């Protein structure tokens, strides 16, 4: 198992790309054992070509916004990556942090795993979701207030990546401060084996799908 911690994701605070993601609001989802096309189909996304890099994805999304502003539709981009236990699909959407609908994520996780994190932009709400074999196992905004069918299963990993928690999952007042978003990205890597870097997002060829309101 990777020993990644929040420190390994310190790059997000100096990254123009990540700043753009948080400004617009984003969802980044990792799906095991499904192709990009299968994931976009499950999202009921209408195929709309490809884009080079996150900049191309953002341009496609902005072009859509010019035509249909102020709704909750967006253009999602997906590409394949290698991770733990095989092939994964990474999906990125500048979607104001809406994320995948829970029934969609549950379906995609059957026989596999789905891990997602998001930020809604503005005064941020940062969410994390872990689905396993059709079930929402753990979700949280604050790691001390966890939901899902097994809300405490990730406590050891949450502590390992640097989040200030006690052994029973309460806030540890004596622990050092940590960048919580960086820790969540590290947690996602612990669960997927996929290292998300600026170059990975910036250089990938994305398969695009228009997700309607």
Q: What does the pLDDT read at residue 70? A: 60
Pair of tokens at residue 155: 């406590």
CB 111 within 8 A of CB 33: yes
- pLDDT at position 63 is 85
| Token pair for 141 | 């905004």
CA-nearest of 118, 157, 110, 161 to 136 is: 110
- Range list of β-strands (E), the chain: 26-32, 46-52, 74-83, 86-93, 113-119, 126-132, 135-140, 146-147, 205-211
Cβ(205)–Cβ(50) under 8 Å? Answer: yes
Compute, in degrees rounded to 10, the torsion defined by CA atoms 99, 102, 103, 109: 90
Consecutive 10-residue averages of pLDDT for the chain (213 residues): 87 95 94 97 95 94 68 91 95 90 94 96 87 97 94 95 92 88 97 97 97 84
* Length of the chain counted residue by residue: 213
Q: Which residues make Cβ contacts (< 8 Å) with residue 84, sequence separation at least 6?
A: 192, 193, 194
Q: Among candidates 191, 83, 196, which has minimal Cα distance to 132?
A: 191
Q: Which helix (H) or strand (E) holds 43?
A: none
Can you give the pLDDT at residue 176?
87
Q: Can you give the pLDDT at residue 136?
A: 97
Confirm if 183 and 167 have CB atoms less than 8 A apart.
Answer: no
Instruction: Give domain limits for the chain.
Output: 6-211
pLDDT in the model for residue 69: 54
């Amino acid at each position: 198992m990777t020993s990644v911690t929040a420190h390994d994701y310190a790059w997000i605070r100096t990254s123009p790309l990540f700043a753009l993601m948080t400004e617009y609001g984003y969802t980044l989802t990792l799906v095991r054992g499904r192709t990009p096309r299968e994931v976009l189909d499950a999202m009921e996304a209408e195929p709309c070509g490809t884009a080079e890099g996150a900049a191309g994805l953002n341009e496609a999304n902005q072009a859509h916004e010019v035509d249909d502003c102020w709704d909750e539709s967006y253009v999602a981009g997906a590409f394949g990556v290698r991770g733990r236990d095989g092939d994964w699909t990474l999906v990125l959407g500048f979607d104001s942090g809406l994320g995948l609908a829970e029934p969609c994520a549950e379906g995609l996780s059957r026989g596999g795993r789905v891990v997602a994190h998001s930020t809604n932009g503005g005064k941020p709400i940062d969410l994390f979701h872990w689905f396993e074999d059709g079930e929402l196992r753990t979700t949280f905004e604050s790691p001390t207030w966890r939901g899902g069918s097994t809300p405490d299963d990730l406590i050891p990993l949450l502590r390992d990546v640097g989040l200030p928690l006690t052994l029973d999952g309460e806030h540890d007042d004596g622990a050092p401060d940590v960048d919580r978003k960086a820790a969540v990205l590290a947690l996602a890597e612990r669960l997927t084996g996929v290292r998300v870097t600026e170059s990975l997002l910036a250089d990938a060829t994305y398969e695009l799908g228009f997700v309607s309101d």
